[in-house]
């Protein structure tokens, strides 16, 4: 089983798929009302190395020499989502739902901070990927 949820944006005015990873980690690492939980390490692995390997991106998902250093630094006790809000920022005035996350300290792409405390740094070190990626 791979973690993920998306309808490709077809229903972005009625659901907010982009918040699913935050919901998963915040809920399942702490446990639900019935006491069921999942180890944080398993959740992180499911969203990182496991999914990357499935699509052939073998150069990511591990913090080790030779791998791309894409990571989030999270204050787990603060991890949550704001209520959904409707924004009109799509072409032709289209609407979509957004949920702002809380608890992410930094998002780092290839060693470059791209978000700090939820604010975009203006830096975009990423690039478009097509096909499998070998390590090295």
Contacts of residue 97, Cβ cutoff 8 Å, sequence gap at least 6: 12, 13, 14, 15, 16, 84, 85, 86, 87
pTM (two decimals): 0.81
3-class secondary structure for 11-36? CCCCCCHHHHHHHHHHHHHHCCCCCC
Backbone angles phi, psi at 115, to 5 degrees: -135, 140
| Token pair recorded at residue 81 | 């989502």
SS3 49: helix
Q: In what order do the strands lie in the sheet with 119-120?
A: 71-74, 104-109, 112-116, 119-120
pLDDT at 133: 79
Sequence ranges of the domains in the chain: 17-120
Q: What is the mean pLDDT of each run of 10 residues along the chain (136 residues)?
A: 76 82 92 92 93 90 84 94 92 89 93 93 88 78
Q: Quote the pLDDT of residue 94.
A: 87
Structure tokens at 19: 């918040």
The gap between the terminal CA atoms of the chain, to the nearest Å, is 27
Beta partners for 85? 98
pLDDT in the model for residue 9: 72
pLDDT confidence of residue 64? 87
Q: Looking at residue 78, what is its pLDDT?
A: 96
């Amino acid at each position: 089983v791979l973690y993920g949820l998306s309808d490709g944006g077809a229903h972005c005015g009625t659901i907010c798929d982009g918040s699913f990873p935050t919901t998963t980690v915040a809920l399942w690492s702490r446990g639900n009302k019935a006491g069921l939980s999942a180890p944080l390490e398993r959740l992180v692995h499911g969203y990182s190395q496991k999914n990357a390997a499935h699509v052939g991106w073998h150069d990511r998902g591990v913090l080790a020499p030779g791998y791309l250093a894409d990571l989030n630094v999270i204050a787990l006790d603060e991890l949550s989502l704001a209520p959904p809000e409707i924004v009109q920022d799509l072409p032709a005035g289209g609407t979509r739902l957004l949920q702002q996350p809380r608890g992410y300290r930094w998002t780092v792409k290839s060693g470059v901070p791209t978000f700090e405390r939820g604010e975009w740094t203006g830096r975009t070190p990423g690039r478009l990927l097509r096909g499998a990626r070998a390590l090295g």
